[in-house]
């Protein structure tokens, strides 16, 4: 009897191992190093005298910034080189010429030593002027001109006090150098003039502006921007969507950028061969202040106007980028020489500008198009959609059936032995 029980247990174990081996193939090896340039981020913090104000969660703006920085330093990805630059941190006097030179690198853009960076942040005390323009110029130098993602995150509670060096013009000049640098801005005060200036700075480089009034919002937003710097760098291609599909630009697989007016729709078209699959996604960025409650719609439509599939997303003002996507597999036909199908992609947004905000240029649009080989009719079940799930289910059912037969046989044998004894 003991031998029979061991045999049954061994058979069950074998079946379970077989099922696991079929259902869960060995994991792929980790990818080799890609050789891509290291992403870099420079956090530029306003340490002017106004940062003493106590209006963020009952504490000072400076305290909120320090807390946010400490949490961001803990969460910074290992592959990101990060630096910290200050403006208005060192000169407490009234001499404007001197005050407008007051920007310093608190921590160099480099592989992060979290303890050292936190110690440097702890020394900060609200002091002087607000030289945003000069700080941006220096921060661009901090990041260099090598390839790879480069991002400045500017955090301020006031407008630049060092005109005529307009920080918006400074940002445009940085963008014109073509070094792939993005400036994102965060305002700590819901002030119209500040919002206008910070929005202009961000817009000039394709960055984003966000108004934050709570410490956790500041932490979350800076973390999001630092993480974004670690994303793989892909050079987008500028395109211009049309008002209708017949006039739309023909796109191939790639990443594209465009501008779309508030509430506007833009059309693009893609050719999909039989047996291929179209995968498309779109992101629309609110690079200026917008009204809450908005949406983005991406539709795949035939040239005759019939909708094939759609993707849509809605927002309520808590994010500055809204994204959605869709997939369309073009089935193989009997005719091997069948022509490609032209699929029209329609991008529509329902953003509306806040009061007093410029509506031109349009909102930044990023469109990803990927046309790949789809599943053939011969291996539909094994390789696409729920096919893998049904295969797994079949293996599990078979294993359970066989295990049940073995266990039933063992049980009947044990009863027979018991009765004879």
pLDDT for the residue numbered 5: 45
pLDDT of residue 178 exceeding 80, the answer is no
| Span 114-125, average pLDDT | 95
Specify the pTM. Answer: 0.55
Of 81-90, 96-105, 153-162, 404-413, the least confident: 404-413
| Span 306-320, average pLDDT | 84
35 or 212, which is more confident? Answer: 212
pLDDT for the residue numbered 323: 86
Delimit the domains of the chain by residue range. Answer: 2-19+389-420, 40-229, 243-374
373-399 residue pLDDT tens: 865 444 443 333 344 444 555 666 677
325-355 exposure pattern, b = at least 16 Cβ within 10 A, e = fewer = ebbbbbebeeeeeeeebebbbbbbbbbebee
CA pair distance 48, 292, nearest whole angstrom: 31
CATH class belonging to 40-229? alpha beta
Grade residue 12 by pLDDT with cuts at 50, 70 and 90.
very low
CATH 3.40.50.2300 correct for 243-374: no
Query: At how many degrees (to 10) do helices 192-204 and 167-176 cross?
Result: 10
325-373 residue pLDDT tens: 999 988 776 556 778 899 999 999 999 988 888 888 888 898 999 998 8
pLDDT of residue 300 exceeding 90, the answer is yes
Share of the chain above pLDDT 90, in %: 47
pLDDT for the residue numbered 379: 40
């Amino acid at each position: 009897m003991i031998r029979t029980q061991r045999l049954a247990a061994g058979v069950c174990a074998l079946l379970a191992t077989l099922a696991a081996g079929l259902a869960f193939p060995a994991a792929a090896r980790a990818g080799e190093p890609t050789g891509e340039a290291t992403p870099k981020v420079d956090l530029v913090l306003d340490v002017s005298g106004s940062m003493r104000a106590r209006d963020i969660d009952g504490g000072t703006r400076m305290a909120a910034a320090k807390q946010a920085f400490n949490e961001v330093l803990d969460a910074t990805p290992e592959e990101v080189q990060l630096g910290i630059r200050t403006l208005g941190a060192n000169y407490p006097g009234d001499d404007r010429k001197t005050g407008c030179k007051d920007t310093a690198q608190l921590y160099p853009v480099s592989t992060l030593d979290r303890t050292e960076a936190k110690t440097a942040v702890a020394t900060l005390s609200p002091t002087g002027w607000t030289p945003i323009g000069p700080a941006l110029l220096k921060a661009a130098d901090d990041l260099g001109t090598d390839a790879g993602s480069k991002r400045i995150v500017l955090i301020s509670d006031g407008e630049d006090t060092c005109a005529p060096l307009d920080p918006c013009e400074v940002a445009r000049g940085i963008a014109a150098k073509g070094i792939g640098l993005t400036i994102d801005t965060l305002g700590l005060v819901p002030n119209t003039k500040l919002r206008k200036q910070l929005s202009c700075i961000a817009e000039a480089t394709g960055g984003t502006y966000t108004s934050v009034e709570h410490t956790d919002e500041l932490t979350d937003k800076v973390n999001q921007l630092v993480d974004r710097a670690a994303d793989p760098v892909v050079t987008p291609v500028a395109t211009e969507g049309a008002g209708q599909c017949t006039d739309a630009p023909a796109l191939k697989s790639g990443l594209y950028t465009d501008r779309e007016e508030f509430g506007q729709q833009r059309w693009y078209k893609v050719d999909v061969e039989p047996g291929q699959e179209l995968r498309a996604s779109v992101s629309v960025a609110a690079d200026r202040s917008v009204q809450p409650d908005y949406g983005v719609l991406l539709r795949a439509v035939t040239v005759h106007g019939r909708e094939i599939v759609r993707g849509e997303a809605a927002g309520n003002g808590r994010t500055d980028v809204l994204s959605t996507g869709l997939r369309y597999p073009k089935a193989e036909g009997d005719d091997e020489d069948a022509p490609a199908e032209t699929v029209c992609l329609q991008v529509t947004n329902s953003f509306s500008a806040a009061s007093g905000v410029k509506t031109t240029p349009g909102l930044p649009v990023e469109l990803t198009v990927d046309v790949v080989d789809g599943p053939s009719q011969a291996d539909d079940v094994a390789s696409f959609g729920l096919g893998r799930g049904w295969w797994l289910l079949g293996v599990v059912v078979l294993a359970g059936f066989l295990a049940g037969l073995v266990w039933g046989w063992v049980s009947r044998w044990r009863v027979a032995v018991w009765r004879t004894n």
